[in-house]
């Protein structure tokens, strides 16, 4: 069942019907000239934005994407864009990582994304390292601001120097996450000005566009048009104030012919990988028959609306065979009638997706189904070690008291690896695995429909979030121990022979490598603090009154402006998560929310 279940969810070897869009992006990269070019790629969930930007990176020669997707087929030399000109293709930057909401971390990640090209950011690296060390030492606010400004200035200086010799291509995905929603109420009432938010990536990026500080660059920004409305409006304002070349791409659903091509390529892919596998051969034949069955194909297209992610999900129901929803057996005439109004169309989709939920998540003994169940409840994404602890540690067992099973861990790692190229899977920050946004929506809507299901789901999430909170707090404490070891070593080296020279005693100067290690420890502690806060809030939204404010105050007292901003962003993301919030047990509607704040 495992292989069959994900037959249609396998990523196709050839991208479907995005020829025009690929040509537009290729031109934005390789056309002669050194002006800033911006590609705004907008579409709602499930239309293949991430697939398209990955294809761009692959064709343009990005090292990471070539390693993951393989080399360009020799029979398609025109796909190899890297022969077209001198361009540096940075690694994909997924803005779902909440740390990227602040300019300092964003600049650091841009520099990291360009590292394989060995561009020269030597001076910026030194300034950024100095700024982070000052943060470690809890320098005063003015000193921190000056250091941050100096690092920013040097980043732009180094960036421009590198852009003189080659075009730099930056690809930002999930851009809707950057929208500044946390302080909108204050902005609307004039209590904050845009200048107060210059440390946010959205405002920083808009300023760089306005000031023409990204020369010889192709900036590809991909995101949801609806959820990212505010972000894209800010980008449009910045673009309008400074002439630059702009390409606007709005991805559309597949038409009937493109839907046929999708299944045709799936059939070809399964034929190639079939070998002696009877199961794979049967899957290939199922897709071949579907391509020939014009009526079934049209019904599938009508009910999915040609949305790629729905096509893969609905087709899995057909391939699996034992649970084909009755609606997919409708005639084309019946299907056309049912999709005439949004209400009847949504009702049909809901019925079909209900079957899909059972198929995908209703096999508690299957490891893939267990992993998907955990991932759909944990939008931060999970890695194999977290999953092993969640699945196999007895209830209320603390991570420090638990002994992992290496064979079981390897099994989970292997299963996760096999899921990486599924269309419903999406990599998350820190080498975690997450899911495509539409899967969270479908699952939440169905599980929240019936009161008992919602209560059961709430109880299951409570157990999961408690374990993940404990996991984060344990890691935080382990890194705290490492920090204390350095502090204790410093204190042991402090000694004086008489009270008279006590004031002249200084800590020993630490070598640069040790200072970098200390900075990494502090930043890792912050990451685990934020993850702990995330799961504490999911477990109990009322924890915002102590967990969030305590951590925010600690960051503020340490003059960690970015840390404070990220802490706030974590809080707002959890509280306003449209899917997770369906399973909150709110005792009453917050007064601030009643006032529209």
pLDDT score for 1: 37
Segment among 53-57, 346-350, 387-391 with least mean pLDDT = 346-350
Q: What is the mean pLDDT of the chain?
A: 85
Q: 219 has which bridge partners? A: 38, 170
Q: What is the pLDDT of residues 449-461, one digit of tens each?
A: 888 989 999 999 9
DSSP designation for 39: E
Q: What is the pLDDT of residues 378-397, one digit of tens each?
A: 999 999 999 999 999 998 89
Segment among 260-264, 319-323, 444-448 with least mean pLDDT = 319-323
pLDDT band at 597 (very low <50, low <70, confident <90, very high): low
Identify which of 185, 167, 197 has the alpha carbon closest to the alpha carbon of residue 33: 167
**High-pLDDT (> 90) share of the chain, %:** 42
pLDDT band at 555 (very low <50, low <70, confident <90, very high): low
For residue 46, what are the contacts with CB-CB under 8 A and spacing of at least 6? 307, 308, 309, 310, 436, 437, 438
More confident of the two residues 263 and 588 = 263
**H/E segment holding residue 218:** strand 217-223
pLDDT score for 2: 41
pLDDT score for 111: 96
Q: 41 has which bridge partners? A: 222, 249
pLDDT band at 401 (very low <50, low <70, confident <90, very high): very high
Is the distance from CB of 56 to CB of 22 less than 8 angstroms?
yes
Identify which of 143, 158, 174 has the alpha carbon closest to the alpha carbon of residue 108: 158
Separation between Cα atoms, residue 175 and residue 231, nearest integer Å: 7
pLDDT score for 218: 96
pLDDT score for 181: 55
- The CB-based long-range contact list for 363-366 (8 Å cut-off, 24+ gap) reads 363/1, 366/1, 366/2
pLDDT score for 205: 92
Separation between Cα atoms, residue 190 and residue 197, nearest integer Å: 13
Residue with tokens 């070897």: 13
Does the pLDDT at position 6 exceed 70? no
Identify which of 213, 227, 208, 220 has the alpha carbon closest to the alpha carbon of residue 248: 220
Separation between Cα atoms, residue 396 and residue 343, nearest integer Å: 45
Separation between Cα atoms, residue 466 and residue 470, nearest integer Å: 6
Mean predicted confidence (pLDDT) in 262-281? 86
Is the distance from CB of 461 to CB of 513 less than 8 angstroms?
no
| Count of H-run helices and E-run strands, the chain | 25, 8
**H/E segment holding residue 435:** strand 432-435
pLDDT band at 335 (very low <50, low <70, confident <90, very high): very high
Does the pLDDT at position 244 exceed 90? no
Q: What is the pLDDT of residues 126-136, one digit of tens each?
A: 999 999 888 87
pTM of the model: 0.87
Does the pLDDT at position 596 exceed 70? no
pLDDT score for 353: 85
For residue 465, what are the contacts with CB-CB under 8 A and spacing of at least 6? 535, 538, 539
Does the pLDDT at position 196 exceed 70? no
**High-pLDDT (> 70) share of the chain, %:** 88
pLDDT score for 464: 96
Does the pLDDT at position 105 exceed 60? yes
């Amino acid at each position: 069942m495992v292989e069959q279940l994900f037959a249609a969810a396998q990523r196709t070897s050839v991208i479907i019907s995005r020829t025009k869009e690929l040509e537009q992006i290729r031109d934005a990269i390789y056309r002669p000239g050194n002006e800033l070019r911006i590609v705004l790629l907008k579409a709602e969930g499930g239309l293949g934005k991430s697939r398209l930007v990955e294809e761009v990176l692959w064709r343009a020669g990005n090292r990471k994407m070539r390693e993951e997707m393989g080399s360009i087929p020799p029979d398609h030399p025109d796909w190899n864009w890297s022969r077209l000109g001198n361009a540096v293709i940075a690694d994909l930057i997924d803005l779902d990582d909440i740390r990227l909401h602040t300019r300092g971390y964003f600049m650091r990640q841009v520099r990291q994304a360009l590292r394989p090209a060995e561009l020269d950011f030597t001076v910026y690296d030194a300034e950024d390292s100095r700024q982070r060390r000052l943060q470690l030492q809890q320098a005063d606010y003015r000193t921190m601001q000056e250091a941050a400004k100096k690092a920013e200035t040097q980043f732009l200086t180094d960036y421009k120097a590198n852009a003189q010799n080659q075009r730099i291509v930056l690809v930002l995905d999930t851009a809707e996450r950057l929208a500044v929603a946390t302080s909108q109420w204050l902005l609307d009432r004039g209590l904050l000005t845009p200048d107060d938010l210059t440390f946010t990536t959205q405002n920083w990026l808009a300023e760089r566009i306005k000031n023409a500080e990204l020369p010889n660059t192709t900036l590809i920004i991909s995101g949801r048009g609806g959820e990212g409305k505010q972000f894209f409006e800010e980008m449009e304002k910045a673009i309008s104030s400074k002439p630059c070349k702009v390409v606007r791409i709005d991805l559309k659903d597949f038409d009937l012919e493109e839907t046929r091509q999708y299944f045709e390529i799936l059939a070809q892919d399964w034929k190639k990988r079939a070998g002696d596998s009877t199961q794979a051969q049967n899957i290939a034949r199922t897709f071949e028959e579907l391509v020939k069955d014009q009526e079934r194909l049209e019904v599938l297209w009508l009910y999915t609306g040609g949305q790629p992610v729905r096509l893969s999900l609905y087709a899995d129901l057909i391939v699996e065979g034992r649970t084909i929803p009755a609606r997919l057996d409708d005639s084309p005439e019946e299907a056309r009638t049912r999709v005439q109004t949004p209400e009847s169309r949504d009702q049909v989709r809901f019925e079909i997706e209900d079957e899909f939920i059972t198929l995908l998540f209703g096999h508690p003994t299957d490891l893939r189904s267990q992993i998907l169940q955990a991932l759909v409840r944990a939008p931060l994404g999970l890695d194999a070690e977290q999953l092993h602890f969640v699945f196999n540690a007895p209830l209320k067992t603390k991570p420090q008291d638990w002994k992992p099973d290496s064979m079981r861990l390897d099994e989970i790692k292997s299963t996760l690896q096999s899921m990486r190229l599924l269309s419903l899977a999406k990599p998350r920050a820190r080498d975690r695995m997450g899911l495509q946004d539409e899967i969270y929506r479908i699952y939440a809507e169905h599980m929240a429909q019936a009161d008992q299901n919602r209560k059961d789901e709430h109880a299951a999430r409570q157990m999961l979030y408690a374990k993940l909170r404990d996991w984060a707090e344990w890691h935080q404490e382990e890194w705290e121990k490492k920090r204390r070891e350095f502090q204790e070593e410093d204190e042991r080296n402090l000694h004086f022979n008489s009270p008279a020279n006590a004031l002249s005693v200084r800590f020993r100067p630490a070598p640069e490598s040790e200072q970098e290690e200390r900075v990494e420890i502090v930043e890792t502690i912050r990451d685990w603090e934020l993850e702990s806060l995330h799961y504490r809030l999911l477990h109990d939204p009322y924890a915002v009154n102590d967990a969030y404010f305590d951590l925010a105050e600690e960051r503020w007292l340490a003059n960690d402006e970015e840390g404070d901003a990220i802490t706030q962003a974590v809080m707002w993301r959890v509280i306003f998560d449209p899917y997770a919030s369906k399973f909150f047990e709110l005792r009453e509607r917050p007064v601030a929310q009643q006032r529209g704040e």
